[in-house]
Amino acid sequence: MHKIAVVGSGYVGLVTGACLAEFGMEVTCIDRNIAKINGLKNGRIPIYEPGLEQLVKKHFHHKRLHFTTNIKTAVEESEVILIAVGTPTKEDGSADLKSVLQVAEDIAKYINGYKIIVDKSTVPVGTGQKVKQTIRNILSNKNNNTSFDVVSNPEFLREGSAINDFLKPDRIVLGVESKMAEKVMREVYAVPNGHGIPFIVTNLETAEMIKYAANAFLALKITYINEIANLCERVGADVKMIAEGMGMDHRISPKFLQPGPGFGGSCFPKDAKALAKTGRDNSLPLTLVEQTIIANELQKHRMIEKISNNMGDLKGKTLGVLGITFKPETDDMREAPSLVILEALVRKGAYIKVYDPAGEKEGRLRFNHIKDKVVFCQDEYTAIKEVDGILILTEWPQFKKIDLDYIKNQMKGNYFFDFRNIFERSAIEAKGFQYYCVGR
Ligand SMILES: NC(=O)C1=CN([C@@H]2O[C@H](COP(=O)(O)OP(=O)(O)OC[C@H]3O[C@@H](n4cnc5c(N)ncnc54)[C@H](O)[C@@H]3O)[C@@H](O)[C@H]2O)C=CC1
Ligand SMILES: O=C(O)[C@H]1O[C@H](OP(=O)(O)OP(=O)(O)OC[C@H]2O[C@@H](n3ccc(=O)[nH]c3=O)[C@H](O)[C@@H]2O)[C@H](O)[C@@H](O)[C@@H]1O
């Protein structure tokens, strides 16, 4: 059993802390946000993630999971220190490493013996070396020759399925520079190792690049099916069948071939931009990644056009929007397509009624600047009452069960924009709606 510190108690930090405790480690989660830490100490989980609250409470109760703002004690008492802070996009598209390097400095200040410092955050290639140099400079200024290792251990969890993704990953990636570091990290992940989860053990740069290459490829794959979907609408093909036909080829797989209004989330957009920047910084523009970024923005605007081309002048029209989070089973609105789409609809004079099972709190903040045109409702039936059209932007499972006869009678108009292809056209048109989706 190793004593672990996780610096940064956001999505990844919290899931990592709770799951490493589940693996039998003793974990201290640190954050500079005092309110967040106090909330966690009092059982308040600041994010909506299925299963997280239960896992955090279980290990907090068994004193295997601790929360603090005191990084000094946490560093002194831990053998392995994971950096899980944010790496948001800067103006030039690169990842902002301010927080990562700040934590590296804090660790160097309090290091009191051999430590393994692990980059869990998604960081551009070369960051591990920067972390190492930052710590080394501070130690040498103090004539402190304490040894340490830096490890890259990128995370692949998806929001909404984060616990399962962490406990049963497809693989564990370790960028290491010593046998000792590899040995300790294999012990930290002894449980998944025991379940046959494969490890990829490589150098820091390769581990860092695996993360970006994977995320950008997944973003590209989604963008590819979105573009095929747009062409399907012109040539009368069915993108759902195309995805099925493609996906039967095991080299392609059916995963991540669902077209929609564009990808969102805190990572695909930011990581694609960061990788594109790395390409340009090395005089090797990654044209496919750069085009993915452009095409994804275009996809959101294509959705707006689809609405205004079919509903005509939106001035004074009301739309009932079902789902605004970037995907189901999360309250996260970071880079959600709804942010661009709703703003454009309001700009065209539309009024919006919104229902999202988990997105209201964040949504109110994000749409505060247009709050006179956006009304939050407490359920999907209230959100569609008296509207001219329905707009589905997030495929929350409950929306598939909506009572179509009831909503047809409750609505003023009959426009039905299903941008997640939840329904079959025939079923919706049979109820008297004008049905619009993506690629069918
Ligand atoms: N959200 C996700 O699904 C995934 C995120 N990642 C990566 O993990 C990293 C973290 O992402 P999230 O957890 O989503 O971010 P987040 O924004 O939810 O959490 C980051 C936390 O770090 C804290 N923090 C920032 N600077 C700090 C400092 N100097 N000392 C202590 N705490 C500090 C913040 O207060 C915040 O609570 C990013 O690099 C992201 O790309 C990787 C895989 C999945
Ligand atoms: O680095 C990260 O943060 C994470 O980013 C993504 O996970 P996440 O963003 O949580 O969610 P996804 O399920 O990947 O969906 C991302 C976006 O793509 C969209 N998407 C996904 C799949 C698909 O077929 N079509 C599609 O439009 C979703 O609606 C969503 O907006 C990756 O899937 C994770 O492996 C990675 O760890």
ipTM of the complex: 0.99
Domains of the chain, residue spans: 3-202, 212-440
pLDDT score of 1: 86
Sign of the dihedral through C-alpha 408, 413, 414, 418: negative
Phi/psi of residue 341, each to 5°? -70, -50
Q: What is the CATH number assigned to the segment(s) 212-440?
A: 3.40.50.720
Helices 337-347 and 287-311, axial angle in degrees (round to 10): 40
User: What pLDDT sits at residue 68?
Assistant: 98
* Ligand 2 proximity of 327 Cβ (cutoff 6 Å): yes
Give mean pLDDT, residues 30-47: 97
Residues 253/221, Cβ–Cβ less than 8 Å: no
Check for a shared fold between 3-202 and 212-440: yes
Alpha helices in 282-413 (DSSP H): 287-311, 337-347, 360-366, 380-384, 397-400, 404-410
> What would the CATH number be for the domain defined by 3-202?
3.40.50.720
How far, in Å, from the CA of 395 to the mean position of ligand 2?
Answer: 13
Q: Check whether 327 is labelled as a binding-site residue.
A: yes
Note the pLDDT tens digit of each residue in 401-411.
999 999 999 99
202 C-beta closer than 6 A to ligand 1: no
Q: Using the atom order of ligand 2, give the atom closest to the CA of residue 122.
A: 1
* 234: phi then psi, degrees, rounded to nearest 5: -85, -30
Instruction: Report the C-alpha gap between 21 and 27 in whole angstroms.
Output: 6
306-337 pLDDT, tens digit each: 999 999 999 999 999 999 999 999 999 999 99
Order across the sheet with 26-30: list the strands: 65-68, 26-30, 3-7, 80-83, 115-119, 148-152, 172-175, 199-202
**327 CA distance to ligand 2 middle (Å):** 8
Q: Are 57 and 43 in contact (CB under 8 A)?
A: yes
Evaluated on CA atoms 424, 218, 191, 198, the torsion sign reads: positive
Q: Among candidates 314, 396, 318, 387, which has minimal Cα distance to 357?
A: 396
* Segment 330-348 mean pLDDT: 98
With a threshold of 0.90, does the pTM exceed it?
Answer: yes
Q: Is the CB of 157 under 6 A from ligand 1?
A: yes
